[in-house]
Amino acid sequence: MIIVIVGPTAVGKTKLSIELAKKYNAEVINFDSVQVYKKMDIASAKVTEEEKESIIHHLIDIKEYNEDYTVYDYQIDARKKIEELKKKNKNIIMVGGTGLYVKAALYDYRFNKEEKNDEYEDLSEEELYKRILKINPDSTVDKNNKRRLIRELINLTNNTENDKGDVLLYDDVFFIGLTTSRNILYDRINKRVDVMVNNGLLEEAKYFYNLDRSAKSLKTVIGYKELFDYFDKKISLDEALDLIKQRSRHYAKRQYTWFNNKMNVKWFETNFDNFSITVEEVKKYIDSK
């Protein structure tokens, strides 16, 4: 059995993944594009050792910040890990925020290596970038490099053959989504940014600021680029934190829209006052199938 937990940032996905892993004797596979990188802990809200409660996690901290890691790379790694766990008769929990990663792993999602295409030549960099973000909100492509934008868009739009991109490769998959009201979610996001700052977000961002900031992995991490501008004295700290909160809220909205439109998700309202109720509701649904 594979249980996929989706939803916007700050809605409780990590906590649910741990609780379900304990109930179903499962191991967890990450599908967050930032959490694959070492030391990007606070900005990505990476699960801590304490939060893991001894549950085994995979595809976290597998790359250095300056190593390229694509959706195609993740597809290979995730499918390999899924097969390994299935051979061990292990249930699998997949959790994260990068929809295209889990889509590539679980569906008959094939990448087109053909780069020659005149269809996009007349589009501006901004138009290309907007189209890419509609398909993959987590894309790290350089938005000022037209050749790379075109290649990225070709791969994303022509990735399947015979419309097989919606065909699941596995029979026993449950797509579980967590949601809440916009006001509650946005309040949680704002407060979580404050907690991240208290936990050392500025120090973490400073570490990467002093390295090669041209690394692809750093370009789209919400929290780093805003603080880089603060370190460069382009904006104040308050302005940087307000931007982090604003962009995190916008990202959460894009995440919800993506999962809602791209996958057949069973949504559950998160009960933040008594999370065990949410866990039991999800478990009851899974057990009934």
pLDDT in tens, 176-227: 999 999 999 999 999 999 999 999 999 999 999 999 888 989 988 999 999 9
Q: Are the C-beta atoms of 12 and 274 separated by less than 8 Å?
A: no
Between the two ends of the chain, the Cα-to-Cα distance in Å is: 11
pLDDT surpasses 60 at 161? no
Residue 141 has pLDDT above 80, yes or no: no
| Residue 113 predicted with pLDDT over 80 | no
Q: Is 135 in the same domain as 42? A: no
Co-location of 129 and 181 in the same domain: no
Res 214: pLDDT: 85
| Same-domain status, 32 and 69 | yes
Nearest CA among 32, 17, 30, 22 for reference residue 57: 30
Taking Cα atoms as reference points, which of 222, 230, 226 lies closest to residue 251? 222
Where a domain ends, among 123, 158, 193?
158
Residue 22: pLDDT over 80: yes
Kindly state whether residues 237 and 206 are assigned to the same domain.
yes
Same domain (yes/no): 154, 176: no
Residue 117 has pLDDT above 60, yes or no: no
Percent of the chain topping pLDDT 90? 71
Q: Pick the last residue of a domain from 98, 133, 158.
A: 158
Domain range holding 138?
Answer: 112-158
pLDDT for 163 equals 39
Q: What is the Cβ-side half-sphere exposure of residue 268, based on CA atoms within 13 angstroms?
A: 25
So what's the pLDDT on residue 152?
77
Q: Are residues 255 and 129 in the same domain?
A: no
Q: Are residues 120 and 166 in the same domain?
A: no
Same domain, 129 and 202: no
Write the DSSP symbol of residue 56.
Answer: -
Average pLDDT over residues 87-99: 96
In this prediction, residue 125 has a pLDDT band, given cuts at 50, 70 and 90, of confident
Tokens, residue 155: 């791969």
Considering only CA atoms, which of 157, 71, 171 is closest in space to residue 120? 157
Q: Is the domain of 218 the same as that of 148? A: no
Structure tokens at 193: 């940014």
The pLDDT > 70 percentage for the chain reads 93
Q: Are residues 96 and 141 both part of a single domain?
A: no
pTM score of the predicted model: 0.84
Residue 139 has pLDDT above 80, yes or no: no
Q: In which band, very low, low, confident or very high, does the pLDDT at 59 lie, cut at 50, 70 and 90? A: very high
Based on the structure, what is the number of domains in the chain? 2
Q: Which residue has the higher pLDDT, 140 or 172?
A: 172
Residues listed for the chain: 289
Q: Which two tokens stand for residue 86?
A: 């299935």
Which amino acid, one-letter code, is at 100? L
Both 268 and 190 in one domain: the answer is: yes
Segment 244-282, tens digit of pLDDT: 999 999 999 999 989 988 889 999 999 999 999 999 999
Residue 162: pLDDT band by 50, 70, 90 thresholds?
very low
- Please say which residue of 125, 158, 191 terminates a domain: 158
The CATH number of residue 232's host domain is 3.40.50.300
Q: Is the pLDDT of residue 288 over 60?
A: yes
Identify whether residues 221 and 151 lie together within a single domain.
no
